[in-house]
Amino acid sequence: MPVPSQLYRPSLALLTDFYELTMAYAAWKSGLTRKEACFTLSFRKNPFAGGFSVAAGLEHVVDFVQHLRFDAEDLAFLGAQKGIDGQTLFERGFLDALAALELDVDVDAMPEGTVVFPHEPLVRVAGPIVPAMILETALLAIVNFQTLVATKAARVCLAARGEPVIEFGLRRAQGIDGGLAASRAAYVGGCAATSNTLAGRLYGIPVRGTHAHSWVMLHGDEREAFMAYARALPANCVFLVDTYGTLSGIDHAIEAGRWLRSQGKEMVGIRLDSGDLAWLSVQARRKLDDAGFPKAVILASNELDEHVIQSLKDQGATISMWGVGTRLVTGMGDGALGGVYKLGAVRDGPEGRWQPRVKVSDQTAKTNIPGVLQVRRFLRGGEFVADAIYEEGVGIPAPCVILDPLDPLRRKELEADLAGEDLLVPVFRRGRRVYDPPPLPDVRARTAAQLGRFHAGVKRFMNPHQFPVGLERGLHEMRARLVLEARGVDV
């Protein structure tokens, strides 16, 4: 079983924005370290102008939380930091406290592969203020990026309509770590394999590869290049046919395929990487079929995404496998998910009662949802029909009414007899892991199963249907009251 921490042997305790450490110091200095806080990680809009997102990155969150410790080099670096006055910023006692810090927090999260929507908590962290604060940036970095790419991959796979998609993006990814995280997230989203060999070793993702134009250019002619490749890898031949001329390249691939057949092997297929992919695929299919290779696949690459794939299918392209790179692993179309980590409640120690907190903004979307939040997903006849965000300490009535977080005039009543499940599951309790991340193929299967339970309108690319997600009425009323109080309005 691949272990994520194989990639991250050094301490990652300083993988945080510096203000989290200055706040932690201020809390320590003020004697507030026993105070507890509940933070919620969520996002405000679906990426790619889409109707859904796919939660990803939890396995890496689990690994990060479980192994986070401040080592001697971390503490030496912090001890060397100085304020504007030139004096040491952190006292020795605080550094000693960091050295002994235990991440005795509760973490609840949506399992990877869960289809999620704006304003819903993907991860909830509750516990002593210092460890709860210093987790912010790392959790956002992990969940934001992997959720973005998993969502893009799910859209690409929907466009491919069941045909396999191979993730080809490592060389165009945002650095080495970005490439690995993207390969993993793309598999969560539905891709069948990756060209990223290290991701294959670390995460157990199937790896696939063909050959480059340079292989053809290395030889005297294309026939020689294809034959040399066929002799070396007779059971793995997908020939890249557009180095000099695509139609002639298809003919040369057929010649190599005939030789392979004479050796008791079969050509896997060809790859198209340029030109009019719709027209060329039709010509390739005709040539391959006429030559007796009806099972040979036609793999296409070249700046593909969900919109290009959908267009090629609408044009009657006969492509049966898709290699998607740059636009997948970079989440092209949206630079980031835009996730946020907001405090929703505080209490005086583990035995205290949670007190909700609200952050008010002139922009309604930036006013947080207070409380210790949970999400219940309702279904009818096997299809998901609505999500209710509610305060876990209060519970949720049946029937219940949900109100749109941004427009309380939009509301929906959910009947008492609807089946439902809570989406956040326990991951850590007081720092002890109580959740085993499932194997990655199971996560990938969860994504497909989840998407299969939503109406097609939620999954379309243009003007998708807005799936009903709302605040349970009691939570909405509590939020409204806190906002008015914060603005000095009598309630």
Model confidence pLDDT, tens digit, residues 257-289 = 999 999 999 999 999 999 999 999 999 999 999
Cα Rg of the chain (Å, integer): 26
The region that residue 33 occupies, defined by phi over 0 for left and psi between -120 and 50 for alpha, beta otherwise, is alpha
Instruction: Return the domain boundaries, the chain.
Output: 4-149+335-486, 150-329
The domain made up of 150-329 has a fold known as TIM Barrel (3.20.20)
378 has pLDDT over 70:
yes
What are the tens digits of pLDDT across the range 404-428?
A: 999 999 999 999 999 999 999 999 9
Q: pLDDT-derived band of residue 186, with 50, 70 and 90 as boundaries?
A: very high
The answer to whether the beta carbons of residues 121 and 163 sit under 8 Å apart is: no
Q: Does domain 4-149+335-486 have CATH number 3.20.140.10?
A: yes
State how far the Cα of 91 lies from the Cα of 95, in Å rounded to an integer: 7
d(CA 273, CA 364): 46
The tokens describing 422, both together, are: 């809570």
Q: How much is the average pLDDT of 217-245? A: 97
Rounded mean pLDDT of 111-128? 98
Residue type, 478: M
DSSP string, 21-64: HHHHHHHHHTT-TTEEEEEEEE-SS-GGG-S-EE---HHHHHHH
Same fold, 4-149+335-486 and 150-329: no
- State pLDDT tens for residues 454-468: 999 999 999 999 999
The whole-angstrom distance between residue 190's C-alpha and the CA centroid of its chain comes to 11
Convert the pLDDT of each residue in 381-401 to its tens digit. Answer: 999 999 999 999 999 999 999
| The pLDDT of residue 294 is above 60 | yes
Task: Indicate if the pLDDT at residue 450 is higher than 50.
Answer: yes
The set of residues, in sequence order, having a beta carbon less than 8 Å from that of 44 and lying 6+ positions away, is 118, 119, 338, 340, 365, 366
Phi and psi torsions of 141, nearest 5°: -60, -40
The region that residue 68 occupies, defined by phi over 0 for left and psi between -120 and 50 for alpha, beta otherwise, is: beta
Strand segments, DSSP code E, in 208-320 are 238-240, 269-272, 297-300
Please give the pLDDT value at position 364. Answer: 83
| 165-167 and 193-194 strand pairing | parallel
Three-state secondary structure string covering 241-263 = CCCCCHHHHHHHHHHHHHHHHHC
Q: What angle is formed at CA 447 by the lines to CA 365 and CA 191, rounded to 5 degrees?
A: 110
Mean pLDDT over each residue of the chain, to the nearest integer = 96
Q: What is the pLDDT of residues 158-168, one digit of tens each?
A: 999 999 999 99
> What's phi and psi for 81, nearest 5 deg?
-75, 140
Residue with tokens 């990155």: 57
Name the pLDDT band for 1 (thresholds 50, 70, 90): very low
pLDDT cut 70: percent of the chain above it: 98
Q: Do residues 132 and 41 make contact, with C-beta atoms less than 8 angstroms apart?
A: no
Give pTM, 2 decimals. 0.96
